[in-house]
């Protein structure tokens, strides 16, 4: 989608500025929101739903110094019902001179609503194909800025930017996100001094007197809004070859960049050099570049942002983060597209997360941790925020493209899934999702994404999706640890929620999450834990390396989960007390006794099962445990001199 300008700034000592990064994310969301406003208001034309597009041959005559287009578009389609007419979309300012089937002229009506209604010579029965040719010319509508004439350094340029629904402003098409042309050939005829660029791979450039015709072929399904062209005096840079670095190796493909001559310098070369390491990295995580039989590259244009046209992203600049974002969209957005506005996070959250993974790969874990911290700070600045949209939110474009939620929370929820599943399983699930034949080069919904994660994870993620995708808020943890014996520590986790009103839509009663904890040990090392927290007041017993004890505790040291205001403290457990208190017999099947020195007063005894759940609480020294299930229990003994900890086996 359209992206806002990325300014080049001197980064912090870590090589990463959180405020700068968040400002860019906010700009991306704002520009995509502006573009989507028109898309949301569009009513899908029911008259275009009775056929399926198969192939398009798109021939255009363009002179960048003249705001005009002459075109011949040949479309092949399959009838989904018996047809005697077919309806396309073409903005009214353009004038259709003829419609043909072979050499036969077909009658047509080009109405004020921008419908081109073509009468077929005979009924096309369901399941059969037909091919028609439309000839037209004129001045494209400027309402959607889909066809733009501009200049750079005094040189004219014409470029297209059809997202979301501007394609009909310059060529007859079907603007329906549920139908894609299976393949296209694009022929651009322009004055000889100019260079033309479009989707796919360049097949030929043929000189015809003062003009040159450039032929591009794209052999993948493509939505109308991703069909693009640009014509100006480009310098063509063969930046190199990407791919071929995985095991097994992915196919190689060229990186071809179209640059304004005045920007063809060492700075641009240095910026574009980021392309190959980024795309090679993304291939290691997501699988082969989706359009690897053709090319990837960039075409400079005069809009201050970017657009992920298939195989050639149009770029206002070559900032590394913009390169990464547009490139990741080739997988999430171009190959697999979210199937509804409710699922917008599948496009934007996953793409934003892969941009973060580029930071991790190229800049190191410290910068990635800073990137995650900036996302968490943004997300938790608002206590609300569901990823999968409620019905009433679909009329609010600001909510759909909320940078705090759709982009930032979407990216961090993606990271938390990686944290839960582990790197290998998470990225394998992403690859399976992208390669699913039902979804690849088509559309996907959130349950389909979840199903691929669960298939690899091996267990349900419904609780996670309920809490983090469909509902709102975040947890606030209070964590307490103490040294509970020789080479042993005990940790207690309590949680409250940012949304406390149980009647509020999206309320989460408890966020069931693995909680990252780091124990700092007295020998200078640390122990990282992932404690599965499923209820409040849950206790965990941790075995420590021999001869060590805990000197400090840190919550979420690498910024792996969404939380705010959480605390972690180390308590002073009375070890001498633990040794002076006895629990016997141990093991036992019916009764145990607690023996405490006479100078100490007993306050409370708690038995915790293997899940950390309290199953028995008493103030008595003689305790009936006959009703308890067999197993190991943690026994917490509260006294006037502090707390003691014992293990007990029920047989």
Domain CATH number, residue 423: 1.10.390.10
Among 470, 495, 521, identify where a domain stops: 470
Of 182, 173, 219, 151, give the one whose Cα is nearest residue 60.
Answer: 173
pLDDT of residue 613: 86
pLDDT of residue 644: 82
The chain-wide mean pLDDT, for the chain, equals 91
Residue 292 DSSP class: T
Among 470, 487, 516, identify where a domain stops: 470
* Same domain, yes or no: 35 and 50: no
* Same domain, yes or no: 641 and 527: no
pLDDT of residue 40: 53
DSSP reduced 3-state for 476 = strand
Statement: residue 4 has pLDDT above 60: no
Per residue in 32-66, pLDDT tens?
665 555 555 555 678 899 999 999 999 999 999 99
Statement: residue 609 has pLDDT above 50: yes
**Tokens encoding 523:** 């020998």
Judged by average pLDDT, the poorest of 87-91, 131-135, 557-561, 641-645 is 641-645
CA dist 89 to 52, 68, 291, Å? 14, 18, 27
pLDDT (average), residues 572-595: 83
Q: Residue 186 class from Cβ within 10 Å (0-12 exposed, 13-18 middle, 19+ buried)?
A: buried
Concatenating the DSSP letter of every residue in 366-408 gives HHHHHHHHHHHHHHTTSS---SSPPGGGGG-HHHHT-IIIIII
Tokens 């005894």 identify what position? 605
Per residue in 352-389, pLDDT tens?
999 999 999 999 999 999 999 999 999 999 888 999 99
pLDDT of residue 112: 93
* Same domain, yes or no: 200 and 112: yes
Per residue in 72-122, pLDDT tens?
999 999 999 999 999 999 999 999 999 999 999 999 999 999 999 999 999
pLDDT of residue 616: 94
Q: Is residue 324 part of a domain?
A: no
pLDDT (average), residues 518-545: 95
User: Who has greater pLDDT, 395 or 536?
Assistant: 536
Q: What is the CATH number of the domain that holds 569?
A: 2.60.40.1840
Among 199, 225, 251, identify where a domain stops: 225
Residue 471 DSSP class: S
* Same domain, yes or no: 62 and 207: yes
Q: Quick one: which H or E segment has residue 268?
A: helix 266-272
Of 401, 324, 380, give the one whose Cα is nearest residue 356.
Answer: 324
Global pTM reads 0.83
The answer to whether 99 touches 106, Cβ cutoff 8 Å, is: yes
Statement: residue 6 has pLDDT above 60: no
Statement: residue 575 has pLDDT above 70: no
* Same domain, yes or no: 31 and 115: no
Peptide bond into 164 cis (omega under 30): yes
What is the spatial distance between Cα 239 and Cα 256, in angstroms, rounded to a whole number?
Answer: 6
The answer to whether 541 touches 449, Cβ cutoff 8 Å, is: no
Statement: residue 22 has pLDDT above 80: no
Residue 468 DSSP class: I
* Same domain, yes or no: 101 and 153: yes
* Same domain, yes or no: 195 and 49: yes
* Same domain, yes or no: 163 and 108: yes
Judged by average pLDDT, the poorest of 14-28, 139-153, 629-643 is 14-28
User: Who has greater pLDDT, 356 or 610?
Assistant: 356
User: Who has greater pLDDT, 571 or 69?
Assistant: 69
pLDDT of residue 31: 55
pLDDT of residue 34: 52
Q: Considering its fold, how many domains does the chain have in total?
A: 4
* Same domain, yes or no: 31 and 49: no
DSSP reduced 3-state for 484 = strand
Of 133, 156, 23, give the one whose Cα is nearest residue 77.
Answer: 133
The answer to whether 566 touches 574, Cβ cutoff 8 Å, is: no
Per residue in 277-300, pLDDT tens?
999 999 999 999 999 999 999 999
Q: What is the CATH number of the domain that holds 130?
A: 2.60.40.1730
pLDDT of residue 177: 67
* Same domain, yes or no: 12 and 151: no
Q: Is residue 418 part of a domain?
A: yes
* Same domain, yes or no: 566 and 581: no
pLDDT (average), residues 501-520: 94
Residues of the domain holding 433? 3-39+343-470
* Same domain, yes or no: 488 and 568: yes
């Amino acid at each position: 989608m359209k992206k806002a300008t990325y300014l080049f700034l001197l980064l912090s000592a870590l090589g990463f500025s959180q405020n700068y990064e968040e400002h860019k994310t906010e700009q991306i969301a704002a520009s995509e929101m502006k573009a989507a406003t028109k898309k949301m208001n569009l009513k899908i034309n029911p008259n275009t739903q009775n056929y399926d597009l198969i192939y398009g041959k798109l021939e255009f005559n363009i002179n960048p110094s003249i705001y005009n287009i002459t075109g011949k578009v040949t479309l092949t389609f399959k009838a989904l019902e018996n047809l005697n007419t077919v309806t396309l979309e073409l903005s009214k300012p353009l004038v259709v001179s003829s419609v043909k089937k072979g050499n036969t002229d077909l009658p047509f009506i080009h109405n004020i609503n921008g419908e081109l209604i073509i009468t077929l010579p005979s009924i096309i029965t369901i399941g059969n194909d037909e091919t028609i040719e439309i000839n037209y010319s004129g001045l494209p509508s400027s309402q959607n800025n889909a066809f733009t004439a501009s200049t750079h350094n005094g040189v004219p340029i014409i470029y297209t930017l059809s997202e979301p629904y501007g394609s009909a402003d310059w060529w007859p098409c079907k603007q329906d996100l549920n139908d894609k042309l299976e393949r296209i050939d694009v022929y651009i005829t322009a004055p000889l001094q100019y260079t033309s660029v479009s989707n796919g791979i360049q097949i030929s450039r043929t000189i015809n007197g003062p003009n040159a015709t450039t032929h591009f072929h794209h052999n993948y399904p493509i939505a109308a809004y991703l069909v693009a062209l640009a014509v100006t005096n480009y310098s063509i840079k063969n930046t190199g070859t990407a791919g071929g670095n995985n095991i097994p190796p992915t196919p190689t493909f060229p990186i071809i960049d179209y640059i304004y001559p005045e920007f063809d310098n060492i700075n641009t070369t240095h910026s574009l050099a980021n392309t190959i390491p980024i795309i090679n990295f993304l291939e290691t995580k997501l699988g082969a570049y989706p359009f690897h039989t053709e090319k990837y590259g960039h075409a400079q244009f005069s809009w201050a942002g970017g657009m992920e046209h298939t195989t050639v992203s149009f770029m206002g600049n070559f900032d590394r983060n913009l390169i990464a974002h547009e490139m990741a969209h080739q997988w999430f957005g171009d190959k697999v597209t979210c199937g509804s506005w409710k699922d917008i996070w599948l496009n934007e959250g996953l793409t934003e997360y892969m941009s973060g993974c580029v930071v991790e790969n190229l800049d190191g874990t410290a910068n990635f941790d800073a990137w995650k911290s900036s996302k968490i700070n943004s997300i938790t600045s608002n206590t609300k925020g569901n990823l999968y949209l409620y019905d009433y939110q679909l009329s609010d474009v600001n909510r759909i493209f909320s940078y705090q939620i759709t982009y930032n929370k979407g990216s961090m929820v993606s990271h938390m899934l990686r944290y839960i599943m582990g790197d290998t399983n998470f990225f394998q699930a992403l690859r399976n999702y992208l390669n699913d034949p039902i979804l690849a080069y088509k559309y996907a919904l959130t349950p389909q994404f979840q199903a691929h994660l669960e298939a690899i994870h091996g267990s349900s993620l419904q609780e996670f999706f309920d809490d983090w995708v469909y509902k709102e808020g975040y947890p606030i943890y209070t964590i307490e640890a103490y040294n509970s014996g020789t080479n042993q520590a005990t940790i207690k986790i309590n949680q409250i929620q940012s949304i406390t009103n149980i009647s509020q839509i999206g309320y989460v009663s408890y966020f069931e999450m693995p909680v990252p904890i780091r124990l700092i040990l007295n020998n200078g090392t640390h122990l990282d834990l992932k404690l599965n927290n499923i209820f409040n007041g849950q206790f965990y017993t941790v075995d420590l390396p021999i001869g060590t004890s805990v000197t400090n505790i840190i919550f979420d040291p690498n910024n792996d989960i969404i939380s705010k205001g959480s605390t972690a403290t180390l308590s002073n457990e009375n070890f001498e007390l633990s040794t002076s208190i006895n629990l016997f017999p141990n093991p036992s099947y019916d009764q145990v006794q607690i023996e405490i020195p006479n100078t100490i007063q007993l306050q409370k005894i708690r038995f915790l099962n293997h899940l950390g759940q309290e199953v028995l609480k008493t103030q008595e020294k003689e305790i009936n445990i006959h009703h308890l299930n067999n197993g190991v229990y943690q026994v917490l003994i509260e006294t006037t001199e502090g707390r003691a900890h014992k293990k007990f086996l029920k047989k």
